[in-house]
Chains A and B, each alone.
Chain A
Amino acid sequence: MTPVSANGAIRNGLIAFAFLGYLILIGIPGRLGGSALPVLALVAALFFWVKLRFDAPDTGGAGLPGGSAEGKPGWQIGAPGQSSGRGVGALFPGRGGTLVLRHGLLAGVTTGLLIAGMSLAFASAIGSGASIQPVLDKIVPVNVGALIGVSPGQIANDDVPLFRYPLQVLFFTVAGLFAALAAVAARARNLQTTSMARLSAYLDSLPFRTTARFAGIALPFLLLAYIVWLGIPGVSAFGSNEGTVRLLFTLIATGSGLFAIRLAHPGREQKIVALLLALGVLTMPFILDQFQNSVMGLVFIFVMMGLGLNIVVGYAGLLDLGYVAFFAIGAYTYAFLSAPFSSPYISNLLNLLGISPEIPLLGYWTALPVAMLTAAIGGILLGIPVLRLRGDYLAIVTLGFGEIIRLFMLNLGELTNGPRGILEISQPGLFGLPPQSFSSGLLSSQGWIFLVALVSSAVVAFVAIRLNDSRLGRAWFAMQEDEDVAEATGVHLVRTKLLAFAIGATFAGMAGQLYASRQINIFPENFSLFVSIDALALIIVGGIGSPAGIVLGALALKGLPEVLRGVDEYRIVTFAALLVIMMIVRPAGILPSARRRVQVSPTDEQGPTTAAEERENDASLPAQGPPARPEDARSEEPA
């Protein structure tokens, strides 16, 4: 059944309706107010258009994981390397144009009728005073009202002008037609598909490819310039949204910078671009305002987290879901050392040591080693009992560890002030200068935090990369590939694993300390399971094992939600949906590391990560090759 067939069209109409229905249920129209109907129609149009482009009889797109491996890294944003061009080609045989138009019309009408029918049903129900659901009652009048284009009050009093319903049908019909026209036009312009991989191929074929490359390199600098310009008083974009818009551009600039570096020719050119970008980023704390700085600070705190977790999960292959524990340890350690609140335990301890408890006890930099050390110890303490665990057993135990730490923070009231948290944690100074001397004038307090975050994460990245290049990194990777062989090749498993945990924890501790001083107040809820999940998600979305990818992941997962703050209630749904899509279209992450790309090649069934864990869990069992291979049937195990 080709999508241009009649029931194909109706099917698309139904799918569109289902999706719009979801949007209506979650209250989007109410949120949009007057513009609800046009926007929904636009959504429908986009949907139909996408269907007409990609929903071809044979979209033989290579298995997506494979697809992500090909193409030039510089262009691999978003959509996968789809070979759907063929499909589109096969879409319009002969008088295809009219067929497509008919398809669009039909689909549009279907959706329109359904939507109109639904709103009519709802409206009349509410009008007649029927209670739809105690719950739905709250949102329905506002939503349906917006959808029909009348005030909630009008619906309640059941005075809705009837012509509104045909109007809805009209809107969606137009949407369908418009989509069809667009598809035909695109076909006429013979532009195959919008997927980035295609685009890169297209650009490759052009003579001015180098110009495109330079454009790619120039982009972040242009954006930086724009950000600076936005900073000038009086300049503004989109009215009062200026702050958000500027933040968005800051995020994009930072992200596209990483691509620019990849686009540059290796060698001197690359060095220069990287240097300039580094300078550009270093100026940001000075030009951004309090809010943008605070967000960027958070982003780079999570970059540190990501880099640390990446050592445990990405390099050593130990799935850790309790990573937040070390973050919390770092944060609370610093809080104890620098906040007015002092728990009896600690003050007793101080009296014991004969230290006079003045506040802050230690400055940021003197406290840093303490926080790092405490976190590292925590890492080792967690590491020892889980040394023999693999895969998901490890995952759940670490998760439990994280929860235990949080519950202690919450319930050990005397030690941690319980749910009321620890307030007024002091900010980093420098060379004995008090923090205030930075939080004034050209560098706002949050800007200072951002600067510290930048530098610290740079250091962390440096250490992580160097270690990964050393024999320790090779040992980690070997361990991830095949524990027993690694050991038989001379890798000391216990030491190597504990090192991974300890180093990862140390980085998390640094991040936690900076987080505490950024937040000024910390509460146990700040250290819920979701922090671990965020950290894990950002390294996987970014591209596990690749530091650049981790930065991108942090920008996307911690930065974008702040941009979406205007639509807060939809933030998480969007985030979650994008997470799933991301995993489907680009399992290797935005900027995968070379090894990762090998891993996700469709050839290996469950992927090496499993291969290591698949083998025996019980150390007492004799070790043999992966069970997936038939040869092993012949292995000399007494079955």
Chain B
Amino acid sequence: MKNFSIILKRFLLNKGSAFGGIFLLIIIIGAIFAPLIAPYNWNEVDTGPRLAPPSWDFLFGTDIHGRDVFSRIVYGARYSLSVGVISVLFGIIAGSIFGITIAYIGGRVDIIGSRIIDVMFGFPSFLLSLLVVAIIGVGLWNVVFAVGLASIPHFARIIRSAALQVKEQPYIEACVNMGFGKIRIMFNHILPNIFPIIIVIATMDLGGAIISIASLSFLGLGAQPPEPEWGAMLSSGREYMRYAPWTMIYPGLFLFLTVMSVNLLGDRLSIALDARQSVDKGKV
């Protein structure tokens, strides 16, 4: 277990991950204990004067309907974080199964599989999610599914290359030599060894997923009123940008800081786990 404690030490000591970690912790606590932290009910119309500037009783001011922006941001944390995590989880699990299978079975399956990935890569992932939303209709959970689906080719490609590297290792040949089945080798031997890479690309992509979902809400395809999702808040805040900039600045700021800390953690995690290989070839 010495190895794990070294990783933990390397991971925590570094000041970058400290900032990232602390901020993310605040957001998570805020999301869980939202009812306690938020001074007002996020959906309460006319809790204060409309478009009031930030003051002591309304930390981030109020929006056009007189709702407290600070409470909405706190509740919004529940949406933005959980939404990002679920879409990445969906993408990662599907991507891993697809990636490992075509990597391990190889031969014609691998060729066809990687051609599919290349064609899917032809579409920018955002375009793909737009198309999916057009089919299944607007709504926050549809957008989550769309962004998750659109991230599968990206995950599958990296996991396939990682699995190919592990497949060449002698300890996998030893498993074959001992007569283990394909499924056992894939998920009992290959998966644990590419798990660090999976964690790293998941955290690195979490930031991207949160932004994509917020962008789709900004375009009006994701969260519908009155859901306090940060992207939607930004979009409605845009109307009143000139005389009530706080309705636009603060949701955007929190979105930025959350994505920043998630990316920071992803970076530090990759350095700590020293997953140097394909992952470090840049945030693709």
A binds B: no
* Residues in chain A within 8 A of chain B (CB atoms): none
* Residues in chain B within 8 A of chain A (CB atoms): none
